[in-house]
Amino acid sequence: MIKEAMLYEKLDDDNVRCYLCAHRCEISPSKRGICGVRENREGTLYTLVYGTIIAENVDPIEKKPLFHVYPGSRSFSIATVGCNFHCTFCQNYDISQMPRESGKIMGREATPEEIVQQAVNTKSRTIAYTYTEPTIFYEFARDVGKIAHEKGIKNVFITNGYMTEEALEKISPCLDAANVDLKAFRDDFYKKYCGARLQPVLNSLKKMKELGIWVEVTTLIIPTLNDSDEELKDIAQFIYSLGPEIPWHISRFYPQYEMDGLPPTPVATLHRAAKIGEEAGLKYVYTGNVPGDKKENTYCPKCGNLLIDRHGFNINKINLEESKCPRCGTPMDGIL
């Protein structure tokens, strides 16, 4: 389905400027933005992916990963094609890069009401906008999100964090949580490997916190590229500056897409990063893509009691009493 886009302005000579994401593309007639899914037709900007769903699944919320949003619950997860990044290590490149690489827009048509009803039918407590970048299907996510809230279902973004402040402000009334990829803490990394910049991501994280959106952060640790002690300390200290309660997910890299010449991240590197995060004062630091690692679990930040026992995306045991540690009474942070 094709629908007029939100968040753009008309310029001279039928050009338009999109301000949905931090690229703020100026788009000529008959051309598309960097995302490949917003097209200027005779001076009007259209989204080409409204209600065109390429992926939909019922996932455990832990898969997002969101460890502090209704642990052990289901999340109805959707995506369209397209992305405003071109990450050379993308795990979903076949759908995220489809419009950029082939010009194709694929998927089945769905209405916001249908998506929400599927969430209801599957007893999902959240709807996750994920797999690709939810910012690029913003209009549909916003419409789904409004109806979801009416049904008591919360909305979560799994995002690269490259949206504008204007976009965040408009969607914040129905956006409850987000896991933001903070891919590195060097602008050169973002430019070379993602086709983007670092500062807009930092700005989004600050804005989400200001708007009251629950935030968790994921960093994929890539050997030799973003795994130095100095950079990991910078990331940990930035997250701490937002709030020590913000979980940091440190994820293991596996070679894929255009970055197939590097080895998987050593588990020891993840443990080193986790120690750095804990020394920075973060209350919740997790390892990812290492099923069975003890750093998958949630421990009470005050007394160290095991609160949630995980193995991969599975919950073995939840040891909470009214969202608090049963030993010392310390509340677990998040949406519980």
Question: According to the model, what pLDDT value does residue 1 have?
Answer: 79
As a whole number, mean pLDDT of residues 220-228 equals 97
What's the token pair of residue 305? 């009691």
* Spatial contact of 64 and 112, defined as CB atoms under 8 Å apart: no
Amino acid at position 141, single letter:
A
Residues of the chain above pLDDT 70, percent: 100
Residues with Cβ within 8 Å of 271's Cβ and at least 6 positions away in sequence, in order, are 287, 295
Assess whether pLDDT exceeds 90 at residue 111.
yes
Per-residue model confidence as pLDDT tens digits over 147-172: 999 999 999 999 999 999 999 999 99
As a whole number, mean pLDDT of residues 46-51 equals 98
What's the token pair of residue 167? 């976009």
Averaged pLDDT of the chain: 97
Q: What is the CATH T-level fold of the domain 52-318, as seen in this structure?
A: TIM Barrel (3.20.20)
Residues with Cβ within 8 Å of 267's Cβ and at least 6 positions away in sequence, in order, are 252, 287, 290, 293
- Categorize the per-residue pLDDT at 240 as very low, low, confident or very high, splitting at 50, 70 and 90: very high
Per-residue model confidence as pLDDT tens digits over 249-292: 999 999 999 999 999 999 999 999 999 999 999 999 999 999 99
- Categorize the per-residue pLDDT at 9 as very low, low, confident or very high, splitting at 50, 70 and 90: very high
Q: Where are the domains of the chain?
A: 3-47, 52-318
Question: According to the model, what pLDDT value does residue 32 have?
Answer: 97
Question: According to the model, what pLDDT value does residue 98 have?
Answer: 96
Distance CA 293, CA 260 (A): 25
Residue 18 parent element (H or E)? strand 16-18
CA atoms within 13 A on the CB side of 318: 15
* Spatial contact of 116 and 127, defined as CB atoms under 8 Å apart: yes
Per-residue model confidence as pLDDT tens digits over 309-321: 999 999 999 999 9
Residue 236 parent element (H or E)? helix 229-242
